[in-house]
Chains A and B, each alone.
Chain A
Amino acid sequence: MSLNIFISITYIIASVLFIIGLKQLSSPLTAKRANLISALGMLLAIVATMLTKGLEFQWIFVGLAIGTVIGVFIALKVAMTGMPQMVALLNGSGGLASVLVGWASYHYQPASSLLTTISTYLAVLIGGITFTGSVVAWAKLQEVITGKPIKFVGQNIVNSLLLLALIGAGIIYCMNPAENYPLFIVILTVSLIFGVMSVIPIGGADMPVVISLLNSYSGMAGCATGFVLNNSMLIVAGALVGASGIILTQIMCKAMNRSLANVLFSGFGSVSTAKSTAIKGEVKSLKPEDAYLILEAARSVVFVPGYGLAVAQAQHVVRELAELLEKNGAEVKFAIHPVAGRMPGHMNILLAEANVPYEQLAEMDSINPTIETIDVAVVIGANDVVNPAARHDKASPIYGMPIINVDKAKTVFVLKRSMATGFAGVENELFYYDNTRMIFGDAKQTVQALVAEFKSSV
């Protein structure tokens, strides 16, 4: 008895450490420590569980050893640009574990109370969807399969039928679990299929939303396991993860000005191209040498990076330019749109990797109110997130999406290969504004040319 109390108290401590870990993630200053605190909580939880009476250790250690080796290996190997895929894979791994736990506990003891059975059912169902859904999300981001939405006639009907089958089979199974082993296998299989079917119609660019949603599911699967095992810590940890997934999903949808239903069911790109007002005006282009003269005189410069920056591997040279500008007396900031990069906050990581100090990383909401005072805004590899049509053109598909108002800065440089449209397929009127100068060419080479100009003039 006293051992159980000791284990329970350790579980409480672990839960508190998870909570403190998330709380301290509110500042880059404390974030690294926060992660260690959270990891310590996990270690305590594992150690406490190992103290459970009657446990046979040998196979547990085998599993722990294999998992640790693989986990450390892939975590150290992954590139920062590949982070979204990595999170998808880890998430899928957790989902699969949840399925296996549900299966093992049912196999060992098929007859149990209704509540326990329902929890087992949920752990297998949610875990299964999370597993295959995450694997498909990984494959799309890694471009193992096409990133385009995969659609076929009657897809929504097929998916609805699968979902109905899962619910129906679940009810029959929960009524009498002991005699429905084959049905359990059916539920498991259909969950796995449903995970695949529900993610393939979603475009690759929307995968971050999917991953975050699946992350939320895996938290819920953890909660379900908590109910199976009557374990409060699992419920607390699962609920924390569930909440974080839901909130991140909401933030992303809001930043793209789309509803979650739109992301999940519409397959972006199949949206009819709305006729937006024809854009009048003239594109004014600029050579890097002339751009240098303007930058040299600028007292404040804001960089607006998009994923194109990371694709061009231009982070390091942009940071170099930023340093030169600072030395020249200008105030430099990086304005980052919430959906820049391939998952929320991804661009920040890529810039941090290039040694941009985090004080220079500014959120959209903090940069917009002061944008009029900025001398030069440099847009690199971003397009839709700076399109002023989102503010006023009701016919535009991106109308209402929050944007970085670079057009209000005194001068705007847009580094771009050509006049091609962005991801949403929308013309960008910003390129025709009076205060906009296009600098055509490869972004990395352009920035390198600017850096060279600065260096040669010193």
Chain B
Amino acid sequence: METQLDALTLIDLIFLFVIAIFLGAELISKVPSTLHTPLMSGSNAISGITIVGAILATGLTPGSTFCTVLGTLAVAFATINVVGGYVVTDRMLGMFKSKQAAGGKK
């Protein structure tokens, strides 16, 4: 299921990795501390991106029941991470209301 890495591709991927770390640091440092809890749960949901690996591990390992079992479990747990993370973040962010909105509700 995996593609073999050659040295040049690896260098490209490492380059991408380094740039992405800097981009991430830049973006996160702009998030106000008011939103740090949703930031944590939201970025946690993004880390559920392992789901891509889980899907491939489940669907591209024909003939091995053991791998299918592992893969299916992996998909399930990664999905919990993704779906749970986004739903809970949405719930939290839905609570932030501006003055007008909070006043208008009454």
Contact = CB atoms under 8 A, between A and B. Distances in A.
Interface residues of A, number: 119
B13 A227 contact: yes
A112 B2 CA distance: 9
A223 B21 CA distance: 11
**Contact-residue size bin, chain B (C-beta under 8 Å from the other chain):** 35 or more
B82 A240 contact: no
B79 to A, nearest CB: 2
A335 B3 CA distance: 52
B40 A87 contact: yes
B23 to A, nearest CB: 7
B20 A74 contact: no
A240 B23 contact: yes
Contact of B46 (A93, A240, A357): A240
Contacts of B17: 223, 235, 239
A306 interface: no
Contact of B56 (A52, A59, A221, A358): A52
Contacts of A123: 53
A233 B17 CA distance: 10
Contact of B72 (A59, A107, A231): A59
Contact of A211 (B40, B70, B92): B40
Interface in B23-38: 23-25, 27-38
A36 B91 CA distance: 12
Contacts of A301: none
A31 B73 CA distance: 32
A223 to B, nearest CB: 6
A353 B95 contact: yes
> Which interface residue of A72, A233, A363 has the most chain B CB atoms within 10 A?
A72
A21 interface: yes
Given A240-B43, A343-B36, A358-B97, A35 B71 contact: no
Nearest to B55: A49
B2 A228 contact: yes
B60 A60 contact: no
Contacts of A150: none
A246 B61 CA distance: 35
Interface in A10-25: 18-19, 21-23, 25
Nearest to A91: B44
A237 to B, nearest CB: 4
A225 interface: yes
Contact of B45 (A39, A46, A101, A247): A39
B2 A74 contact: no
A46 B102 CA distance: 37
Tell me the interface secondary structure of chain A in the complex. helix
Contacts of A353: 95
A381 interface: no
Contacts of B21: 239, 242-243
Given A76-B91, A100-B70, A107-B66, A71 B32 contact: no
A311 to B, nearest CB: 17
A358 B34 contact: yes
Contact of A240 (B27, B68, B103): B27
A359 interface: yes
A62 B72 CA distance: 7
A135 B82 CA distance: 17
Given A78-B88, A93-B84, A348-B35, A239 B20 contact: yes
Given A22-B27, A108-B64, A109-B1, A349 B52 contact: no
A219 interface: yes
Given A87-B44, A343-B40, A115 B79 contact: no
A365 to B, nearest CB: 9
A357 B79 CA distance: 33
A431 B17 CA distance: 51
Given A66-B79, A116-B2, A239 B24 contact: yes
Contacts of A35: 38, 42, 86, 89-90, 93
Interface string A65-90: 01110111011101010010011011
A215 interface: yes
B28 to A, nearest CB: 4
Given A31-B38, A115-B5, A343-B37, A237 B49 contact: yes
Contacts of B74: 63, 96-98, 100-101, 104
A193 B38 CA distance: 30
Interface of B: 1-5, 9-10, 13, 16-17, 20-25, 27-62, 64, 66-68, 70-99, 101-103, 105
27 contacts: A22-B24, A22-B31, A22-B42, A22-B43, A32-B94, A32-B96, A39-B86, A52-B56, A60-B59, A60-B75, A76-B87, A87-B40, A91-B81, A93-B81, A101-B53, A101-B70, A103-B70, A108-B1, A108-B61, A228-B53, A234-B49, A238-B47, A241-B47, A244-B40, A247-B28, A251-B33, A345-B33
